[in-house]
Each structure stands twice: as C-alpha cells, then as structure tokens.
Amino acid sequence: MVRMCFLKKYGLMPTKNRSLGMSSPDLMTLDEVAAELRVSRKTLLNWRAQGAGPKGFRLGRAVVFDRSDVRSWIDEQRAADHIGARSA
C-alpha cells in the first residue's frame, strides 16, 4: 500500500513488465535515457557505477533521471569536446 501511494505521489505506476510508466515529463527511465544518448542500457549502467554519465537516482526499484540533468550532462560533454569547440 505504501509503495503504491509513493508511486502515485510521483506520477509513476508499475506496468505488467515491471518497468515504470512515466507520466511525469521531467523524469526519464533508464531505457529512455539510453535511447536519447544512443547507448545501450548496459553502457548507461556502467557509467552510473563509475560515477560518469548523467545523474540518476533510485525511485523505488527503478533508476530514473531528471530530464534537465540529462540535458545538462549533454551540454557539458559538448563543451568538453575540444574538436567540437574549434571554430571552422
């Protein structure tokens, strides 16, 4: 009961395949972030274990990411890319 209240509070409800259906536009699932970054789920999990990649957090059993944190991480990667920073 407590878990369901917690999920409802944050707009998350489990589906039959045990993944979370995200109704909050500000939160992204692990699979959504992996697709956005065009990396595998395993790569994203490895980055997380190494402290690299976008900041994520556990919400119940699921790892979720704030959309603004993912965008910020992408912007940081772009700024750190010396090749991309050169002028044409």
Average pLDDT per consecutive 10 residues, the chain (88 residues; last block may be shorter): 58 49 75 96 95 93 94 93 62
Domain that holds residue 26: 2-85
Strands (E), 1-88: 12-14, 20-22, 27-29, 56-59, 62-66
- List the beta bridge partners of residue 22: 12
pLDDT of residue 16: 40
Q: Pairing state of beta strands 56-59 and 62-66?
A: antiparallel
Query: How many structural domains compose the chain?
Result: 1
pLDDT of residue 56: 94
The CATH number given to whatever domain includes residue 8 is: 1.10.10.10
pLDDT of residue 84: 56
Are the beta carbons of 13 and 25 closer than 8 angstroms? no
